[in-house]
A and B are shown apart, each in its own frame.
Chain A
Amino acid sequence: MAIHEITQDGYITWRCHAPERHPGKPEMLRAHVSHEEIQYTEDGLVKLPPCPHCLEMGIHSQTAVMVHFPPHVRATVAPELDEEGNPIGENPAIAKHEQLAQHLARIGKTIPEPQPAIEQTPVFTQAQVEELVTQILREHGIIQQNS
C-alpha cells in the first residue's frame, strides 16, 4: 500500500493490504526510516517491514514502494482527480514517497549494487567425464580393455 503519512522526523505509516485477516488489530503499520527492514531493492523500490500481525499468522506480507520518479515515469503516474473525474494535480503519493527517499538518503541508505551471477564450477572436467565413460564401457565389455 502507498505511504499514508511520513513525519518530519522520519516515521512512516502505511496500511496492511489484508487487514481483514487480523480483526481487532491495527490496520495501519508504523516504522521509522532507520528500521533495519526498510531497504532499497536493486531496482530502486523501497521495501517496508512485513506486517507483524500477518507474520503472527505465518504469513509474510510486504509492501514495496516506488520512490524515484524520473520525468518519463512521473508523467505516467495517475493524477489526483476531482469528484467529476477531472485531473486536479499530481498523485499525492509521489510527494510522500519522494520524502521517504530524502529521509533514506540522509541516513545513508542507498540502492545496492546488483549481485553478481553465481559462477558455476563444473563438478567434473570434460577429460574426467570421458575417462569415466570409457571405464564404464570397458567394465561392461562394450569396448576392449586396451582400447
Chain B
Amino acid sequence: MPYTPTGPFVNGSSPGISAAFLNNVENALVNAISDPAITNDGNGNMTFTTGNIKRAAGQQEKGFYFIQGGGNASGWVVGSWVGTISRTVTPVSVTIDTSLVAPTASAGTPSTSQLTSAGFFVGFGCTAVTNTARCAGAWTVQY
C-alpha cells in the first residue's frame, strides 16, 4: 500500500504531533523489522534465512526466452526450461509470444508445457533438417 507523507516537519511549526503519522511510521517499522528471517545490511543486500519469494493470486511475472538448436529430421524438439523468480506457489497459466525472433530456419511454432511452481518448458518442433532453428519472445506467468 503506498505511503502518503505527512511532513516535512519544521521546529515549532505545524504540522504538530499526528497520531495518523506516528501510527503509519510504527506500522512501517513493524513491517520492516518484524520478520527475523529477512535482514537488510544497509548496502542493498537482503538476506532470507528461510522462506521464498512468492507471487500472490492475480499477480504476474514477466520475462523473455530465447531458444536455438538443430535437428536432423522433421519433428526434433528444441527447447529450454524457463525458471521463474517466484517459488513454491503454482501458477494458473503461462503465455508466450514470438515478438523478439519469429520462428526461423525451420523452427515450428513454440509452445509451453510442464508449468510448475519453479517455471515452465518452452520448445518447438523442427519442420525440416536444420542446425540453427530459433525463436524468441516474451512470457507472462499468471498466479
Q: How far is the CA of A63 from the CA of B91 in the complex (A)?
A: 12
> How far does the alpha carbon of A63 sit from the alpha carbon of B141 in the complex, in Å?
9
Knowing A18-B97, A43-B114, the reply to whether A59 touches B102 (Cβ < 8 A) is yes
CB of B132 within 8 Å of the partner chain: no
A118 and B73 form a contact (CB under 8 A):
yes
Question: Residue-by-residue, is A57-78 near B (CB-CB < 8 Å gives 1, otherwise 0)?
Answer: 0111111111000000100111
Count contacts on A: residues with CB < 8 A to the other chain: 36
Contacts of A59 in B (CB 8 A): 97-99, 102, 137
Q: Which residues of A contact B95 (CB under 8 A)?
A: 1, 17, 61-64
- Counting CB contacts under 8 A, is B93 at the interface? yes
Interface string of A1-40 (1 = CB under 8 A from B): 1110000000000000110010000000000000000000
Q: Which of A42, A60, A62, A78 has the most CB of B within 10 A?
A: A78
CB distance from A21 to the nearest CB of B (A): 7
With both beta carbons as reference points, the residue of chain B lying nearest to A79 in the complex is identified as B57
Given the complex of chains A and B, what is the CA–CA distance between A69 and B25 in angstroms? Answer: 42
Q: Nearest chain-B residue to A87 (Cβ)?
A: B57
B96 touches A62 (CB 8 A): yes
- Say which residue of B88, B109, B111, B142 sits within 8 Å of A41 (CB atoms): B111
- At the interface, yes or no: B90 with Cβ under 8 Å from chain A? yes
- The answer to whether A93 and B94 have CB atoms under 8 Å apart is no
The answer to whether the Cβ of A94 comes within 8 Å of any Cβ in the partner chain is yes
CB distance from B15 to the nearest CB of A (A): 27
Q: Is the CB of B97 within 8 A of A77?
A: no
Residues of B within 8 A of A80 (CB): 57-58
- The verdict on A2 contacting B102 (CB below 8 Å), with A41-B113, A118-B73 known, is no
Chain B CB within 10 Å, residue with most, of A1, A17, A64, A91: A17
* B113, A58: Cβ atoms closer than 8 Å: no
User: A21 vs B76: C-alpha distance in the bound complex, in angstroms?
Assistant: 32
In the assembled complex, the Cα of A1 lies from the Cα of B97 at a distance in Å of 12
Q: How far is the CB of A92 from chain B (nearest CB, A)?
A: 7
B140 at the interface (CB under 8 A from A): yes
Query: What are 8 pairs between A and B in contact, CB < 8 Å?
Result: A2-B92, A21-B99, A43-B113, A45-B115, A63-B93, A78-B56, A80-B57, A81-B57
**Shortest 10 CB-CB distances between A and B: which pairs?**
A61-B97, A93-B92, A17-B95, A17-B140, A78-B57, A63-B95, A65-B93, A76-B90, A78-B89, A91-B57
20 new A-B pairs (CB below 8 Å) besides A18-B97, A76-B117? A1-B93, A2-B93, A2-B142, A3-B93, A17-B138, A42-B113, A43-B113, A60-B102, A61-B96, A62-B96, A62-B111, A63-B93, A64-B94, A64-B112, A65-B93, A77-B57, A78-B54, A78-B57, A92-B57, A118-B76
